[in-house]
Amino acid sequence: DVLPLEIIDVQKEVNNLNVLPGDLILGDDIDCDEISLEGLQQELEECRSDEDYINESDNLVSLQAEIRECDAILTQMESLLGGFQVEIGSISSEIKTLQEQSMGKGLRLRNRK
């Protein structure tokens, strides 16, 4: 049972349309132009979406690399700012100690007078 190539091509076309035998009954009033245009339009939109994705894939890879670089920089900045915050806390403690010492010396000076 070898089928001619034309029949095989027709079967492939039917399979591509997702039409099962019995879906269409001979004599049904169907606008073939409308069906094929809708199908073609849908396929064209899908192809455009695929092409857009393929065309933008390099940009997406580049964007992902930039995001990773930014994330690494932000992690470094977070670490740097954390260390800076610790240093400021230490300096604040030293300032309080110096203020207390200054007040104590000022009080002693007044008591001497």
What pLDDT score was predicted for residue 29? 53
Of residues 85, 103, 83, the one with CA closest to residue 95: 103
DSSP 26-80: TT----HHHHHHHHHHHHHHHHHHHHHHHHHHHHHHHHHHHHHHHHHHHHHHHHH
Q: Is residue 53 part of a domain?
A: yes
- Asked if residue 92 belongs to a domain, the reply is yes
In this prediction the pTM is 0.44
What confidence score (pLDDT) does residue 53 get?
74
Which pLDDT value is given to residue 4? 57
- Residue 30 maps to a domain: no
Token pair recorded at residue 107:
């009080």
Look at the chain and report how many structural domains it folds into. Answer: 1
Instruction: Tell me whether residue 24 is in a domain.
Output: no
* Domain-located, residue 108: yes
Asked whether residue 16 is assigned to any structural domain, the reply reads no
71: containing domain: 35-112
21 assigned to some structural domain: no
For residues 11 and 20, what is the distance between their CA atoms, to the nearest angstrom? 11
Q: Cα(58)–Cα(64) distance, rounded to whole angstroms?
A: 10
pLDDT at 104: 94
Report the pLDDT value the prediction gives residue 1, as an integer from 0 to 100.
47
Residue 43: inside a domain: yes
Mean pLDDT by 10 residues, the chain (113 residues): 56 59 51 62 76 79 92 96 95 95 92 84
